[in-house]
Amino acid sequence: MINALWIVLLGMAIIFAVLGILLLVMVLLSKLLKPGEKQEKKG
Amino acid sequence: MDMATGEFLGFLHLSWQAVAMLVIGGVLMWLGIAKKVEPVLLVPIGFGCMLANIPLGGAAEADGFLAILREAGIHTEIFPLLIFIGIGAMIDFEPFLQRPYTILLGAAAQFGIFGTFLLAYLLGDGWLHVLNFSLQDAASIGIIGSADGPTSIYVATVLQSKYTAAIVVAAYSYMALVPIIQPPIIKAMCSKEERALKMPSVAGTISQRTKILFPIITVLVVGLITPKATPLIGCLMFGNLLRACGVVERLSLAAQNELANIVTILLGITVGGMMSGTEFLRPETILVFILGIVAFSLDTVAGVLLGKLMCVLSGRKINPMIGACGISAFPMSSRVVQKMGLEANPYNHLLMHAAGANVAGQIASVVAGGVMLMLVPMFI
């Protein structure tokens, strides 16, 4: 039972960590390749 | 007479399980053909189910063609991986690349996988012992929450679950039921004011270089941290690179059409062939289907909860409903959120924001599958 709880906690933590790193890399990449390309305006 | 009953009179060997499965096969085909519920999959699955349950037919027995397909395509995990190349070539990740923060919504929505896994394990070997669910079975049932058929097949096969056929049928059928499962949960969690919240439109396009580098970087980041996800994310992103690079249009089109269609036919009929009465008709199968609904519901709840948090942190610039699209049921959940947004405010167009979260959910569900494959063997 404790094993299952560990899987849940570690699983969610790893998913957020991996995707968080991917998010950072993609944000950096988009800034490096096209600085100032993305402009947000009220829709 | 022995020869006659052995070779010609299959109906004399009909068991109640075979009859029940022939009816289930018929219902699946009816759902696909008459009700247009995931016809691309339910028609081949229903037909395969019918073939597998004709007594003395031998289609799904040792040397039968369905057994050979199962061995060659499912046990080797080749079919789901080939399907992923096609899916990768079909997906346009631009809505996500314009809103990279939506990847966090995708991450949150994977909680359905882990919450359902915990519940299944509690009902099985973990505590109550009501049902015969091992840790591997519970993980395979939880993965229905990835809302992604190929990932479900891949994980259940690698973990050698006893319930692979039920898991796959549940995963595919519930994707079609997203418009029924999600709206009541979203309505219960978001006020009309929240549902009516407009989001800023994103101007500008993503550069071609970013689109090309995205699949390569994703494989490197995901693969280096969760290596078990490499085959799945690798095939998905390979397909996407074929689309994004712009120099192999022929291959991209082949992946989107010929490859995806051929493997879908083979996968569908093979999964149907796995639905033999003795394997499928067990109390656990009903529980697998119930837990599948739980998984989709928990996905939605977790996604919307993070959406609400982002809404507050962003100064109400993010509509919390798009969190529900963190499940990878693309494009159904995007359409659900777009429709609900328009109902709350006729000028509220959320489709592209929702699509961003939706394709982010596709990546997140693959990562979740890899994480499950990595963690479960460590704790057995």
Distance between CA atoms of residues B29 and B49, nearest Å = 10
Q: What is the mean pLDDT of chain B?
A: 92
Q: Is omega for the bond preceding B283 within 30 degrees of 0, making it cis?
A: no
Q: Residue type at B264?
A: T
| Cα nearest neighbour of B227 on chain A | A18
At B321-338, the pLDDT tens digits run: 999 999 988 888 999 999
E strand or H helix at B201: strand B201-203
- Residue A42: pLDDT band (50, 70, 90) is very low
What is the per-residue pLDDT for B224? 96
Long-range contacts from B211-215, C-beta under 8 angstroms, 24+ separation: B211/B93, B211/B94, B211/B97, B211/B244, B212/B241, B212/B244, B212/B245, B213/A29, B213/A33, B214/A26, B214/A29, B214/B93, B214/B97, B214/B240, B214/B244, B215/B88, B215/B240, B215/B241, B215/B244
Q: Residue type at B293?
A: I
CA-closest candidate to residue B112, choices B137, B71, B146, B73: B146
Residues B152 and B122: beta-carbon distance below 8 Å? no
The domain segmentation of chain B, as residue ranges, is 90-379
Q: Which of A12, A19, A43 shows the shortest C-beta gap to B114? A: A12
Distance between CA atoms of residues A42 and B84, nearest Å = 36
Percent of chain B residues topping a pLDDT of 90: 75
Mean pLDDT, residues B232-257 taken together: 97
**Distance from the B140 Cα atom to the nearest Cα atom in chain A, whole angstroms:** 13
Lowest mean pLDDT among B2-11, B229-238, B278-287, B309-318: B2-11
Helix extents (H) in B230-350:
230-245, 249-254, 260-273, 277-280, 283-313, 332-344
CB contact under 8 A, B107 and A26: no
Q: Which of A4, A17, A43 shows the shortest C-beta gap to B118? A: A4
The ipTM is: 0.89
CA-closest candidate to residue B327, choices B287, B296, B285: B296
Residues B299 and B111: beta-carbon distance below 8 Å? yes
CB contact under 8 A, A1 and B206: no
CB contact under 8 A, A4 and B206: no
At B193-206, the pLDDT tens digits run: 999 999 988 766 88
Calculated CA dihedral for residues B152, B260, B299, B190, nearest 10 degrees:
-170
**Within a 10 A sphere around the Cβ of B12, how many other Cβ atoms?**
11
CB contact under 8 A, B114 and A33: no
Mean pLDDT, residues B248-264 taken together: 97
Task: Give the end-to-end CA distance of chain B in Å, rounded to a whole number.
Answer: 52
Query: Residue length, chain A?
Result: 43
Lowest mean pLDDT among B172-181, B237-246, B287-296: B172-181
**Distance from the B209 Cα atom to the nearest Cα atom in chain A, whole angstroms:** 8
Q: Which of A7, A16, A33 shows the shortest C-beta gap to B379? A: A7
- Residue B5: pLDDT band (50, 70, 90) is low
What is B274-286 written as a DSSP string? Answer: T--HHHH-SHHHH
Distance between CA atoms of residues B360 and B101, nearest Å = 9
**Distance from the A4 Cα atom to the nearest Cα atom in chain B, whole angstroms:** 6
Q: Write down the pTM of the prediction.
A: 0.90
What is the per-residue pLDDT for A21? 96
CB contact under 8 A, A11 and B372: yes
| Cα nearest neighbour of A38 on chain B | B204
Looking at per-residue pLDDT, the higher value among B26 and A31 belongs to B26
Residue B356 tokens, joined: 């961003």
- Residue B278: pLDDT band (50, 70, 90) is confident
